[in-house]
Amino acid sequence: MKRFVSAGVLALMAATSMTAVSALAETKVGMITTLSGGGSHLGIDVRDGFMLAIEQSKSDVEVIIRDDARKPELAKSLANEMLQKEKVDILTGIIWSNLAMAVIPEVVRDGTIYLSPNAGPSALAGKLCNENYFNVAWQNNNLHEAMGAYMKKEGLKAPFIIAPNYPAGVDALTGFKSYYGDVEGELFTKLGQTDYAAEIAQIKASKADSVFFFLPGGMGISFMKQYGGAEVGLPVFGPAFSFDEVILGAVGDAAIGVKNTSQWAHDMDNAANVAFVKSFKEKYGRTPTLYASQGFDTANLMLSALAKAAPSDAEAFRAALKAAEFESVRGAFKFGSNNHPIQNIYIREVVAGADGKPTNKLAGIAIENLQDAYASECKM
């Protein structure tokens, strides 16, 4: 029996190494991401991280990139275009969960592989999970769960929590509360809102002792600038999305000392990450954000699977993705039963960097081997 298996494995390896070259050459990848407007730096970093990995692999996978401008209807028509006209084998790139919900369920039901480099709405991890959908970033709740646990441990008594009113915002506050418990106050804002005067006034009037906010992209910058001007004086906490390197660059010293949670940090000490951060800085002249690391990991996961099987052999390709045999820049990485990562979530602190500008520094671990709360609802 054992001989049979090993012979089978050998035969498979021989077969896959032969198909590998052709699989790489013929594969077409469609990337729909946000490259303009207030959410653009997220998509730009995902794209740049992804393309860096493709370039380093020297593979000739064809990547078609389109800008969705954070508009669900545009993302949907782009997805149709990619599938019908361009006939892509793999889709990836969507940043925002409301766009993800508009595009992904239909696409994966019809048999296309989707690799998520960012959005991880709870529905896709639970009831709507699909064997063709792989999340390479996190389930939406994860970083917020970790911050809820951290703030509870740090003895903060009455946090005020804020998120935009869209699937990821709802997941964020659900995740936070599931690990923290009851909060002093919570607010949903409009997605893409630019003025937070009303919310900040309410924070000031409440009895809160701290503020937790999930406001990615330009929203986080607007909030932090206005929060500083209003002299509220309460400490702020958030997921890495509220304190990425671009936001820190715009907010400046006001963010120094702030703690945030992330599955990755640019000063993480593993060989893959050191090489990634160095080559990213060389190529693009800026420090990568977590979005860039997710784009890089997504591409490397895809390349690792393409080396084993062609997307046309769906069964084998899915198995190769699920095995996740690639060097993730975040260290250990594996998929749970619902194709979402099981991974460590870390605490980062904003400090003054070598050049005097604020930057994130790894400060410890918040939760080890965190798996999302929806895996049990997934029947796959």
Positions in the binding site for another protein (CB under 8 A): 35-38, 40-41, 44, 69, 165, 170, 173, 186-190, 192, 194-195, 197-199, 201-202, 204-205, 218, 221-222, 225-226, 229-231, 246, 250
Q: What is the nearest approach in angstroms of another protein to the Cβ of residue 45? A: 11
Q: Which is nearer to another protein, 11 or 201 (CB)?
A: 201
Q: Which residues contact 170 (CB under 8 A, 6 or more apart)?
A: 163, 188
Closest approach of another protein to the CB of residue 39, in Å: 10
d(Cα 341, Cα 287) in Å, to the nearest integer? Answer: 24
Overall size of the chain counted in residues: 380
Instruction: Work out whether strand 159-164 and strand 210-213 pair parallel, antiparallel, or are unpaired.
Output: parallel
- Minimal distance in Å, beta carbon 292 to another protein? 14
Minimal distance in Å, beta carbon 318 to another protein? 35
* Closer residue to another protein (CB): 250 or 323: 250
How far apart are the C-alpha atoms of 173 and 144, rounded to whole Å? 7
Q: How far is the CB of 148 from another protein (least distance, A)?
A: 15
DSSP letter at 131?
Answer: T
In 282-335 the beta strands, taken as DSSP E runs, fall at 334-335
CB 31 within 8 A of CB 115: no
Residue among 165 and 376 whose Cβ is closer to another protein: 165
Angle in degrees, 0-180, between the axes of helices 72-84 and 97-109, rounded to the nearest 10: 30
**Minimal distance, residue 41 CB to another protein, in Å:** 6
Q: How far is the CB of 279 from another protein (least distance, A)?
A: 22
Secondary structure class of 138 (helix, strand, coil): coil
Q: Smaller CB distance to another protein: residue 42 or 301?
A: 42
Rank residues 152 and 204 by Cβ distance to another protein and give the closer one.
Answer: 204
Shortest CB 126 distance to another protein, Å = 18
Inter-CA distances, 195 with 221, 245, 252, Å:
11, 22, 19
Instruction: Give 36 or 80: the residue with its C-beta nearer to another protein.
Output: 36
Q: Give the helix/strand (H/E) hosting 67.
A: strand 62-67
Nearer to another protein, 197 or 332 (CB): 197
Contact 366, 349 (CB under 8 A): no
- In whole angstroms, the minimum distance from the beta carbon of 378 to another protein comes to 23
State the CB neighbour count (10 A cutoff) for residue 292.
Answer: 31
Q: Determine the Cα–Cα distance for residues 125 and 133; give it in Å rounded to an integer.
A: 9
Nearer of residues 221 and 302 to another protein, judged by Cβ: 221
CA quadruple 119, 122, 125, 126: dihedral, nearest 10: -160
CA-based Rg of the chain, rounded to a whole angstrom? 21
Indicate the SS3 state at residue 38: coil
The least CB distance from residue 343 to another protein, in Å, is 27
Find, among 310, 292, 304, the residue nearest to 51 by Cα: 292
Residue among 249 and 331 whose Cβ is closer to another protein? 249
Closest CB to another protein among residues 47, 340: 47
Best CA proximity match to 228, nearest among 209, 261, 206, 256: 256
